[in-house]
Structures are given as C-alpha cells and as structure tokens.
C-alpha cells in the first residue's frame, strides 16, 4: 500500500507539472485532487495495517487460549484418575453435529487425531443427550480378542461398523456428561465432555458425572472467556468428518 501512495504522488507531480505549462488554475485544481487521492490512499493503508494487526493478535490469542484449555483438560484428567492411554475431549453442539473444541491425551497421536465433528445421532454423546445427560461404558470387550463383541457394543451406541473399523483409538471405557449452558450473551450452548481410556475400567464409575457435571457450566464459561469464538455453534471451516477418532 505504501507503493500505491508513492505512485499517487509521482503521477500527481507529473500531471501538475504538465498542467502548469497550460494553466496555473488547472494545475492548482489537479494538485488539490491529487492531495485528496493521497489522503484516501493513506487512510486505506492505515485501515489495512490495523486489520492485519488485529487479525494477528486474534490468532495469537486463540493459540494461547487453546494451549491453556488443553492444560486444563490435562489437569482434569489427573483429577478424574484416568488410566493411560486416556483422552479427554470437550465438544459443543453445532448444526453439523458435535464440534470439537479442545482435546488432550497422554498419547500425542490420540490428541492430534480424530474427527472434528461427530454426528449428533451417534456415540456416547448422542446417548447421553437423549437419555439423561450422562453415559458410561466402562468395560468394553478387548477389540484384539473379541472384535465382534466390540463392534456390537459400538453399534449399541449407533456407531456404524465401518467407523469402528477405522478408529485409531479403540477405547474400552467411555464416560461423558452433557449440559445446556448459556454464554455471556445469553445464547444457549449444548456442551459435552467425553473421557475415554483403552484400559477396561480406565474411567472410574460415575466419577465424570459427579465431578464434572456440576462444574460443566463453569468449565464452558472458562473456555468462552479464553476464546469467545468457541461459544459460536454455527460450525465453520473446522467442520469436517473425514478424520476418525
């Protein structure tokens, strides 16, 4: 944009110089027009620089918020006494399904992998939302030895067979709690927290519901305070269903 302002001044000088030879009044008029154009160019450059600075600050804040949220989930995993390998994931319900907000795991590949959006009618979140706001499956069959039984347990939560077959983390214990809360603007948000472990009984019976359920409101408020965009439930560019859990 600085180059554009220089171009404005260069052209203005050239045109004004030529016009002076023809008429001083014409030259004065052209000079005034050139100054106005220069002012517009300067104002546009300032707005563009300010917009870029705000966007950069927002990106930095989001990265910082995401790190703090994951740290919080890591602390919560210790308090819940989850057995490794474990994973904790926070979701909000969007029109396209349960959208992942933050995730932490003691095993990095499990923290990084997985679908960013889960269908609203599949899995433990769907079950909890439909039948009492909490769900737990704590001793699923060993997928390495009883694969057909493991598939049937997953199908009992409406998870299709082809999805189960491609799961990276094949958990043997699940527990979740869901709740409807309101953000600072008064907008209602359905949120869910899922704890899982590859160890049978790696999630303690009832612990997630008792420990997290009453505090889910404060949890989501903390998340929205760290990054208000997490309170939006309209989906967005992160909504995709090609990755697997």
Q: Copy the structure tokens of residue 203.
A: 């999630």
Tokens for 99, please give them. 């959208």
| The model's pTM | 0.66
Give the torsion through C-alpha atoms of 115, 120, 124, 128, to 10 deg: 150
> Do 129 and 192 contact (CB within 8 A), yes or no?
yes
pLDDT (tens, 9 = 90+) of the chain, 245 residues, equals 444 555 544 544 544 454 555 566 665 666 677 667 666 666 666 656 666 566 555 545 554 555 667 777 888 888 889 999 999 998 888 888 998 888 899 999 998 888 889 999 999 999 999 887 889 999 999 999 999 999 999 999 999 999 999 999 999 999 998 887 765 667 777 888 999 999 999 999 888 888 776 666 566 666 555 555 554 433 333 333 333 45
Q: How many CA atoms lie within 13 A of 192 on its CB side?
A: 30
Burial environment of residue 197 by CB neighbours within 10 A (0 to 12, 13 to 18, 19 or more): buried
């Amino acid at each position: 944009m600085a180059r554009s302002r220089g171009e404005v001044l260069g052209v203005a000088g050239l045109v004004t110089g030529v016009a002076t030879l023809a008429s001083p009044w014409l030259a004065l008029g052209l000079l005034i027009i050139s100054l106005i154009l220069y002012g517009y160019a300067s104002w546009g450059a300032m707005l563009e620089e300010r917009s870029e600075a705000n966007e950069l600050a927002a990106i930095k804040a989001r990265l910082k918020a995401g790190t703090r949220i994951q740290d919080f989930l890591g602390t919560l995993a210790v308090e819940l006494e989850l057995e490794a390998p474990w994973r904790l994931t926070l979701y909000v319900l969007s029109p396209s399904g349960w959208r992942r907000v933050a995730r932490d795991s003691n095993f990095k590949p499990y923290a990084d992998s997985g679908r960013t959006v889960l269908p609203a009618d599949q899995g433990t979140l769907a079950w909890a939302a439909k039948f009492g706001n909490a769900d737990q499956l704590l001793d699923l069959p060993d997928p390495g030895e009883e694969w057909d039984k493991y598939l049937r347990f997953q199908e009992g939560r409406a998870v299709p067979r082809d999805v189960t077959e491609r799961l990276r983390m094949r958990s043997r214990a699940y527990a979740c709690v869901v709740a409807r809360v309101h953000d600072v603007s008064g907008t209602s948000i359905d949120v869910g927290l899922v704890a899982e472990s590859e160890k049978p009984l790696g999630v303690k019976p009832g612990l997630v519901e008792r420990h997290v359920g009453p505090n889910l409101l404060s949890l989501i408020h903390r998340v929205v305070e760290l990054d208000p965009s997490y309170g939006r439930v309209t989906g967005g560019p992160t909504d995709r269903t090609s990755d697997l859990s």
